Amino acid sequence: MATTERRPILLDFEKPLAELEARIHQIRELAEENDVDVSDQIRQLEARALQLRQEIFSSLSPAQRLQVARHPRRPSTLDYIQAISDEWMELHGDRGGTDDPALVGGVARFAGRPVVILGHQKGRDTKDNVARNFGQAAPGGYRKAMRLMEHADRFGMPILTFINTPGAWAGLDAERFGQGEAIAYNLREMFRLDVPIICTVIGEGGSGGALGIGVGDRLLMFEHSVYYVASPEACASILWRDASKAPQAAEALKITAWDLKSLGILDQLLPEPIGGAHSSPLEAAATLKQALLQHLEDLSQMTNQQRRELRYQKFRNIGVFLEATA
């Protein structure tokens, strides 16, 4: 069967880098055709390309980080599950008649230990995104997640959640079937679970859609992930009635991992490969696995009561601040 090479998906700020890499490729081809040795020049240009990539990705604005977080080829929940788990069995259904493909979960073996893993799942292309509802979970998805978490609690299995959604599904049927109740129920019930819970934002963490599986003992975020109460586009439309001011809103909302780290909300910021997690998914997965192992080890040393109390205090402390006066 013939295979076709996937064309790279370029973000606006990556175009200068892409032009330089295309030039390197062109020079290499011409040199091979004419049997000319240009290895020194190629090495210099490749070094420049690496330097340019580092410069670009080390100084991204919040709006640009949002673009990286939404990259179509950014690793998804199922990608990370396959990369970090030894065994994986997906479980379906909320036992209420639905099985939401936008939120997946199941039982896995992680470093030899049984765990329950669940998370939002976006698609790779338009057809897949439509099938997955663009990672926007319905009420049944959150009820399925809670069923799996109760299963984990019953059998003493730690819970790992991967957050990647622009928000919960906001359709009429979502409201009809109790979207707000489903998310609120999860928020309440996750506080009482005895087992360790580690939540990781792997892409977008949008509003209540993210919080529905986001109450845990530890919150991790990849370097170019974002977490927000409302998308910058929605915020700009509400405040200024002008969606073009989304970059300004992104700056004001403090949505980046660096912002959340400085605010004391984030427990660990996970570095990404230069160029974003999509540029080297296996490297990103190795970073995630190492962090999860460390936090799981720390949490396993605590009693159930200690974990519940720390979890409660963690969220009670969010939003507490002091005002400095002259």
Per-domain residue ranges for the chain? Answer: 13-58, 65-316
Assess whether pLDDT exceeds 80 at residue 275.
yes
Say which DSSP state 314 is in.
Answer: H
64-116 pLDDT tens trace: 899 999 998 899 999 999 999 999 999 999 998 889 999 999 999 999 999 99
Locate 246 and state its tokens. 């989304």
Give CA–CA dist 121/163, Å, rounded: 9
Per the DSSP assignment, residues forming a β-bridge with 199 are 161, 219
Say how far apart CA 126 and CA 134 lie, in whole Å: 9
Q: What percent of the chain shows pLDDT beyond 90? A: 64
Mean pLDDT of the chain: 89
Instruction: Please report the pLDDT score of residue 7 as a whole number.
Output: 60
Q: What is the average per-residue pLDDT within 182-211?
A: 95
Closest by Cα among 205, 223, 226, 203 to 215: 205
Cα distance between residue 120 and residue 144, in whole Å: 12
Residue length of the chain: 326
How does residue 258 score in pLDDT terms, banded at 50, 70 and 90?
Answer: very high
Pairing between strand 159-165 and 103-110? unpaired
pTM to 2 decimals? 0.87
Q: What is the dihedral of CA 237, 162, 130, 278, to 10 degrees?
A: 90
231 against 1, higher pLDDT: 231
CATH number corresponding to 65-316:
3.90.226.10
Q: How far, in Å, CA of 120 to CA of 34, rounded? A: 51
SS3 (DSSP) at 218: strand
Taking 80 as the threshold, does the pLDDT of residue 2 lie above it?
no
Name the residue with tokens 């009420």. Answer: 139
- Rounded distance, CA 279 to CA 283, Å? 9
As a whole number, mean pLDDT of residues 162-176 equals 93
Whether residue 226 has pLDDT greater than 80: yes
* Spacing of C-alpha 101 from chain mean position: 17
Q: Is the pLDDT of residue 1 over 70?
A: no
Q: How confident is the model at residue 268 (pLDDT cuts 50, 70, 90)?
A: very high
| Strand runs labelled E in the chain | 87-90, 103-110, 113-120, 159-165, 197-206, 218-222, 226-228, 268-270
Under 8 Å between Cβ of 87 and 80 = no
Q: pLDDT band for position 326 (50/70/90)?
A: low
Tell me how far apart the alpha carbons of residues 61 and 66 are, in angstroms, rounded to a whole number: 9
User: Residue 5's pLDDT is what?
Assistant: 46
Between CA 300 and CA 292 the distance in angstroms is 12
Burial 181-194 (b: 16+ CB within 10 A, else e): ebbebbbeebeebe
Q: Mean pLDDT check: name the lowest of 6-20, 30-44, 139-153, 177-191.
A: 6-20
H/E segment holding residue 192: helix 179-192
The arithmetic mean of pLDDT across residues 304-325, rounded, is 87
